[in-house]
Structure 1
Amino acid sequence: MATTTTSIEVPWSADRTWQLIGGFDSLPDWLPYIRTSELSEGGRVRSLTNEDGGTIVERLRAFDDAARTYSYSIQRAPFPVTDYLSTLTVHELPGGAGSRVEWSGSFTPAGVSDDEAVALFHGIYSDGLAALRETVTA
């Protein structure tokens, strides 16, 4: 199993940041390469459409509003991995000076090396968090 984690600090409080990104259906609000998100199964499954028209289907595995975190797995996507589990968490910085958003994942590469799979998801997470910072500082 391979893993990767990345994080970024943003100038918003943890509560305000969580309000933007904490909804399982909120990716289009801050992630420009996700055009749409449609919930099904009582909000536990999201079908995402990316900028190329591709579809990614993900299932919510855990949600903790008080801890500002959720985890999800991929049900269908064009990624070369299986057993994917990812977690998005917002942490308050000391003194309320903003927040740190952490995005992590674990997965089993399928047809690619561990390094290739890690590079793919590390890039997705890093680019996504950079887009988040742009959104909150615009």
Structure 2
Amino acid sequence: MANAQATLNTPHSPEHVWALIGGFDSLPDWLPFIPESLSSEGGRVRSLKDPDGNSIVERLMAFDEQQRSYSYSILTSPFPVTGYLSTLRVKADGQGSRVEWFGEFTPVGVSDEEATALFTGIYEGGLQALAKSLG
């Protein structure tokens, strides 16, 4: 099993950050490389499209409004992994927030290092986009 992680420290309050990213179907609101998200199964499944039209379907596995955290698994995607489970959470950090995005997965047809680099890049790029969205 391999894993990846990225963090963002921001001066914005945890409540402000969570209001933007806390909805499981809110990726298009802050993540430019996911311009489309359609929810189903009462909001527990999201079907995403990237700018190239690739489809990614994810299932919400856990949601904690009080802890400002949710975890999700990938059901289908073009990524070379299986057993993917990721968490996105916002924690208070002094006067601002710390956003953490991390996941674990089993690479398929690629090395642990390649799969880790792929998801580290996705998480870091996503948090950079979040920083821009927050202003």
The TM-score by the shorter chain falls in which range? Answer: over 0.9
Match of 2:109 among 108, 111, 118: 111
Task: In structure 2, give the amino acid aligned to 1:121.
Answer: F
Partner of 1:55: 55
2:124 maps to what in 1? 126
| Aligned twin of 2:35 | 35
Residue in structure 1 matched with residue 6 of structure 2 by the alignment: 6
What is the SS of the residue equivalent to 1:9?
strand
1:102 aligns with 100
Q: Distance in 2 between matches of 1:55 and 1:126?
A: 21
Q: Give the TM-score normalised by structure 2.
A: 0.98
Q: Letter of the 1:44 partner, please give it.
A: R
**TM-aligned CA deviation for residue 86 of structure 1:** 0.2
- Taking the aligned partners of 2:20 and 2:132, their CA distance within structure 1 comes to 13
Shift of 1:100: 0.7
In structure 1, what is the Cα distance between the partners aligned to 2:118 and 2:53?
A: 19
Segments of structure 1 that go 5 or more residues without pairing to the other structure are none
- 2-side partners of 1:79 and 1:56: how far apart? 9
Cα distance in structure 2, aligned partners of 1:53 and 1:115: 26
Deviation, 1:12, is 1.1
Q: Secondary structure at the match of 1:51?
A: coil
Measured in 1, the distance between the counterparts of 2:30 and 2:9 equals 15
The 1-side partners of 2:64 and 2:93 are apart by 19
When the two structures are superposed, what TM-score results if normalisation uses the length of structure 1?
0.96
Q: C-alpha offsets along residues 81-100 of structure 1, whole Å, 9 cap, x if unaligned? A: 00000000001112xx2111
Q: Deviations over 1:59-95 (max 9, x none)?
A: 000000000000000000000000000000001112x
- Which amino acid is the alignment partner of residue 125 of structure 1? Y
Give, in whole Å, the separation in 1 of the partners of 2:33 and 2:115.
Answer: 19
What residue identity is the alignment partner of 2:37? S
Q: Using the alignment, how far apart are the partners of 2:12 and 2:49 within structure 1? A: 27
Q: After the TM superposition, which parts of structure 1 deviate over 6 Å for at least 4 consecutive aligned residues?
A: none
